[in-house]
Amino acid sequence: MNRNDISQAIESGKTALGIEFGSTRIKAVLIGEDHTPIAAGSFEWENRYEDGIWTYRLEDVWAGLQESYRELAAAVSETYNVTLQTIGAIGFSGMMHGYIAVDETGNLLAPFRTWRNTITGQAAEQLTGHFQFNIPQRWTIAHLYQAILNKEAHVRDISFLTTLAGYVHWQLTGQKVLGIGEASGVFPIDSTINDYDAHMVGLFDDLLAAEGMPYKLLDILPKVLVAGENAGTLTAEGAKLLDPTGQLQVGIPLCPPEGDAGTGMVATNSVAQRTGNVSAGTSVFAMIVLEKALSKLYPEIDMVTTPTGKPVAMVHSNNCTSDINAWVGLFHEFTEALGVEMDQSRLFEMLYQKALTGEADAGGLLAFNYFSGEHITHLEEGRPLFVRTPESNFTLANFMRTHLFASLGAMRIGLDILFVKEKVEIDQILGHGGFFKTAEVGQKMMAAAMKVPVSVMETAGEGGAWGIALLAAYMLRKTADEPLETYLTNNVFAGEAGTTIAPDPVDVVGFETFMARYKAGLVIERTAVQAMK
């Protein structure tokens, strides 16, 4: 689209706006008719640790929302000489899970408790056993039940319980709804009916009754919607909250609010069955879209859904690149001590490329990248380790290959549950995150670990704000009964530039050898945790 076409699209409302509340940044992205970004705005923010709770203040929510929109509107005016007054559709996304509870007058009953809090261990364990379904600590229902177990006075007054994205959406539309992907991090979903699991709702209602609560669960939870459904329109009050200047018109339709996991799936075109995406940076997690539900409960696997309700298995590892970054920092100190000037990004690239020349199994070396604990390997704390035997082939290439392999080790143990025990089959993985910045290296390592082709698209860095904008556009423009995956493939990602690397059989065998060493060496990591207090 040329500049005049974009200006006309903005004036006529042939656009879609996505705003995502991330952990460190609120980002707004406006897309045109061809689904590419045409303007953006952002606001940096940080969570606060107050009275033992990780939280964000609601005044920061509104300040950040307004500033990111203001920046975006200013960019529209400056670039296209148009005042932003109408938008085709809007969508909100946010960090999944957490706990926002309000009373019947809409007042917040307790500080917003984010996904980062690990204060719900008792509730998560009891609910997991009660439901025979894995309930992680960060889920909204775990926060609610823990507050009940704690005898917190406010729980009796809850009129509405939601997430950050659901709260913002409610304030702007008056609609108490959630997209199904976001809802799947609130309470377990039955993908056969695209709603909360009725059996588990009944079990939780029994717990509420036993505690003397004056409501049932569905009285306080948001209604579940799937991608493509209309989730209300922007009210006069909502328009003022978003744009205090008064330029933005009322009545703009909104799509269901979604979580960052769902928008990540959309932004990487990973919403169809037998597809998945893996995000690898400080942490690493894989999202695999299943053809059917898993046969039983696995504590290592989180079950969520796509924005259309398909079951998704999530394998999350707390540690990925932090230890590699620390070693590269050490090498950078060495180059400086030699008086050699080398940009750190160039050093990263050189060292990553060196890993490709290492032996397939990394020469008998072993590392654990555990800056923090790993639930998959049942460690509450971590100690970064590098271990070798006198016979190991201690070369730079093998050293780097070892650390890249180790960054995927815990996740691979979780994936083995899916691929070996549950016989889950996937055709391709889409990779995104810092692990893939150096051409080919991260893809080859991930392909060896997962035994499937790994693709990286040029748009993979557009992020969740773009993903929720795409969901808004889908609601606005889809044809009757057009599935989300078809819309994305045909209208957004057709002709998308990217690279795909298939697993090298030699690398696959080498990674298997490394994993046998990794599993056997976990006793060393556990001993280090006990010995190095």
- Does residue 383 fall inside a structural domain? yes
Residue with tokens 């070693």: 327
Question: How far apart, in whole angstroms, are the C-alpha atoms of residue 325 and residue 322?
Answer: 5
Domain boundaries, position 393: 322-406+506-531
Within a domain: residue 329?
yes
Predicted pLDDT of residue 433: 79
Residue 350 belongs to some domain of the structure = yes
Helix (H) or strand (E) holding 487: helix 484-487
Residue 414 has pLDDT above 80, yes or no: yes
Checking if the pLDDT of 120 tops 70, the result is: yes
Number of domains the chain is built from: 1
Mean pLDDT of the chain: 94
Given pLDDT bands bounded at 50, 70 and 90, which one contains residue 421? Answer: very high
Residue 462 tokens read as 């557009």
Task: Express the helix, strand and coil content of the chain in percent, nearest 5 each.
Answer: 40, 20, 40
- How many residues does the structure list for the chain? 533
Q: Angle at CA 355, nearest 5°, toward 418 and 286?
A: 25
Under a CB-based contact definition with an 8 Å cutoff, are residues 492 and 337 in contact?
no
- In this prediction, residues 259-276 reach a mean pLDDT of 91
Closest CA to 399 of 381, 386, 390, 389: 386
In a domain, residue 334? The reply is yes
pLDDT band at 70; cut points 50, 70, 90:
very high
| pLDDT for the residue numbered 282 | 82
The average pLDDT across 178-183 equals 98
pTM across the whole model: 0.87
- Segment 242-263 mean pLDDT: 96
What is the radius of gyration, based on Cα positions, of the chain? 24
Reply yes or no on whether the pLDDT at 411 is more than 90.
yes
Q: What is the pLDDT of residues 284-300, one digit of tens each?
A: 889 999 998 888 999 88
Q: Dihedrals φ, ψ of 178, to 5°?
A: -140, 145
Q: Are 403 and 326 within 8 A, CB to CB?
A: no
| CA separation for the pair 468, 320 (Å, rounded) | 26
> What is the per-residue pLDDT for 1?
72
Question: Is the pLDDT reported for residue 213 higher than 70?
Answer: yes
CB 388 within 8 A of CB 427: no
User: Across-strand partners of 454?
Assistant: 429, 501
Q: Apex CA 383: angle with CA 378 and CA 384, to 5°? A: 115
Residue in the structure block whose two tokens are 């998704």: 312
Give the pLDDT of residue 35: 95
Phi, psi of 55 (to 5 degrees): -150, 165
Neighbours of 251 (CB within 10 A): 10
Dump pLDDT digits (tens) for 361-389: 999 999 999 988 898 998 888 999 999 99
Judged against a pLDDT cut of 90, whether residue 17 lies above it is answered with yes
Instruction: State the pLDDT at residue 2.
Output: 84
3-state secondary structure 326-358: HHHHHHHHHHHHCCCCCCHHHHHHHHHHHHCCC
Q: Is the pLDDT of residue 279 over 90?
A: no
Question: What does the pLDDT read at residue 460?
Answer: 61
Dist CA 288 CA 274 (whole Å): 7
Tell me what the mean pLDDT of segment 223-227 comes to. 98
457-504 pLDDT per residue, tens: 876 666 789 999 999 999 999 998 999 999 999 999 987 778 999 999
**Integer Cα distance of 341 and 281 in angstroms:** 26
Q: Is residue 386 part of a domain?
A: yes
311 pLDDT higher than 70: yes
**Which region holds residue 13: left if phi is over 0, alpha if psi is between -120 and 50, else beta?**
left
Task: Confirm whether 374 is domain-assigned.
Answer: yes
What does the pLDDT read at residue 461? 60
Write b or e for each residue in 38-47: b if 16 or more Cβ atoms lie within 10 A of its Cβ, otherwise e: bbbbbbebeb
Q: 56 lies in a domain? A: no
